[in-house]
Structure 1
Amino acid sequence: MIGLDLGVDDGQPLRVLALGAHCDDVEIGCGGTLGRLARRPGGLDVRYEVFSSNPQRAEEARAAATDLLREARDVSIWVGEYRESYFPYVGDAIKDRFELVKSEFDPHLVLTHQRHDRHQDHRTISDLTWNTFRDHLILEYEIPKWDGDMGSPNVFVPLSEDDVANKLRVLGEHYASQFAKPWYDDDTFRGLMRLRGMECHAPGRHAEAFYSRKAVLLGGDAS
């Protein structure tokens, strides 16, 4: 298996836009990856955007993002209040937020929901990501849930045991509002990371997985 980097010099900060429909989506889908990137030598600049919340969940999301990204060089956190489960019907307003982000932040990497996610809010965020960031590297993360829509991802980020433990700690310490959900527990999250780690033969046995629709290798002047 061939490993590729993100084409950013170690001495330069990596700019990442992390998008989530709901308050725990980013941490569930790519919390380990963000924690790992935050330790890269050149630093990590993150724009963290979550679109649906209530007062309790917004407070949870800000605390979780601050904790998860505590080693990042710079973090901007925004939590919106769009009505959960109704994103397809307010897509124009959400698109306005996307356009504002695009005008203010030019990411090297965009992390978003995967295209075939069966939750309508997740699909709306994925579609608007591709509609807005047409010339960027986009990786789509996965969220385990009732719908049974897990697929076959094609990009993997190996995680150490410390990466896994930190992700689980953040999810366990900051999202008390989710504890009543029977699927929201360490077994679910660790189990998926273990499965993806097996699929990519990760040295630490765990990984997060992503879908890449399009990627350019060896870009720049090919003359």
Structure 2
Amino acid sequence: MRSLPFARPGQRLSVLCLGAHSDDIEIGAGGTILHMISGGALLDVHWCVMSSSSDRATEARASADDFLAGALSKTIEIANFEDSYFPSQTRELKAWLNALRGRISPDIIFTHARHDAHQDHREINQLTTNVFRDHLVLEYEIPKWDGDLTERNVYLPLPAEIMQRKTELLLKHFGTQRSKDWFDEDTFRGLARLRGMECRAPSRFAEAFTVRKLMLGMGTVQ
């Protein structure tokens, strides 16, 4: 399997993270974000959670602060779209994302996957790829009762200590979710172990993504 450079030490990157709910980004891409920062990449991160009750908004901000410790800069936005009803709010969501595009031009976008079984997740994916047409978009996965896991085509191996840190932070910050039977260390480590097996990760763990479009360049990157 060919490995391509992603986030070099000292490389400055603008990163946009989009999540429908307060724990989505952390579950889907939290290990990758932690690994990029610990590896020395200089990240300017715009972290957007599109819905949250007051309790979950507090969790979301505290979690984002921990996951982004060491980033060059961070902006955390919590929007107030109605949870579970995103498809009926398409016009408002698109206007919000259009306004966001007017303020930032990220090098990398992390967002939900196209075929996610949760309607809010699918809506964010469709609008992300509609609004941000000229960007590298990595679609992350969220394990759930619906059983919608599928093939992925991009993997980022995670050192064992990064995987452990991701799990610790998830369990630390999301008290409102810990009563759910799927929200535990076994789920997070199990999925990462499976993805690590698929890419033969040296540390045995990985996060996996889908990339719909990727342009390769020859020589100097434009």
TM normalised by structure 2 equals 0.96
What is the DSSP-based 3-state SS (H/G/I as helix, E as strand, rest coil) of the residue aligned with 2:109? strand
Q: Cα offset for 1:42?
A: 4.3
For residues 192 and 54 of structure 2, the distance between their equivalents in structure 1, rounded to whole angstroms, comes to 30
1:156–1:209: 8 Å Cα contact kept in structure 2?
Answer: yes
Which residue pairs with 1:13 in the alignment? 12
What are the residue-to-residue correspondences of 1:1-223 with 2, within 5 Å? 1-6=1-6, 10-218=9-217
For structure 1, which segment, 95-104 or 184-193, has the greater mean C-alpha deviation from structure 2 after superposition? 95-104
For residues 18 and 161 of structure 1, the distance between their equivalents in structure 2, rounded to whole angstroms, comes to 23
Unaligned runs of 5+ in 2: none
Are the structure 2 counterparts of residues 151 and 71 from structure 1 closer, same or farther at C-alpha, using a change threshold of 3 Å? Answer: same
Unaligned runs of 5+ in 1: none
Percent of paired sites with the same residue: 48
1:146-179, CA deviations, whole angstroms, 9 ceiling, x for partnerless residues?
Answer: 1111000000000001110110011011000001
Are the structure 2 counterparts of residues 190 and 3 from structure 1 closer, same or farther at C-alpha, using a change threshold of 3 Å? Answer: same
Matched to 1:28, the amino acid is I
Q: Cα offset for 1:50?
A: 0.6
1:73-128, CA deviations, whole angstroms, 9 ceiling, x for partnerless residues?
Answer: 10100011111110000111111111111111111100000000011000000000
For residues 179 and 124 of structure 2, the distance between their equivalents in structure 1, rounded to whole angstroms, comes to 26
Matched to 2:61, the amino acid is R
Are the structure 2 counterparts of residues 42 and 190 from structure 1 closer, same or farther at C-alpha, using a change threshold of 3 Å? Answer: closer
For residues 109 and 97 of structure 2, the distance between their equivalents in structure 1, rounded to whole angstroms, comes to 12
Are the structure 2 counterparts of residues 42 and 152 from structure 1 closer, same or farther at C-alpha, using a change threshold of 3 Å? Answer: closer
Matched to 1:97, the amino acid is W
1:39–1:72: 8 Å Cα contact kept in structure 2?
Answer: no
In the comparison of the two structures, how many residue pairs are matched?
A: 221
Matched to 2:5, the amino acid is D
For residues 44 and 66 of structure 2, the distance between their equivalents in structure 1, rounded to whole angstroms, comes to 15
For residues 103 and 66 of structure 1, the distance between their equivalents in structure 2, rounded to whole angstroms, comes to 24
2:8–2:40: 8 Å Cα contact kept in structure 1?
Answer: no
Matched to 1:164, the amino acid is M
For structure 1, which segment, 99-108 or 196-205, has the greater mean C-alpha deviation from structure 2 after superposition? 99-108
For residues 10 and 210 of structure 1, the distance between their equivalents in structure 2, rounded to whole angstroms, comes to 22
2:8–2:39: 8 Å Cα contact kept in structure 1?
Answer: no
1:23–1:52: 8 Å Cα contact kept in structure 2?
Answer: yes
Are the structure 2 counterparts of residues 135 and 149 from structure 1 closer, same or farther at C-alpha, using a change threshold of 3 Å? Answer: same
For residues 140 and 51 of structure 1, the distance between their equivalents in structure 2, rounded to whole angstroms, comes to 16
For residues 63 and 77 of structure 1, the distance between their equivalents in structure 2, rounded to whole angstroms, comes to 10
TM normalised by structure 1 equals 0.95
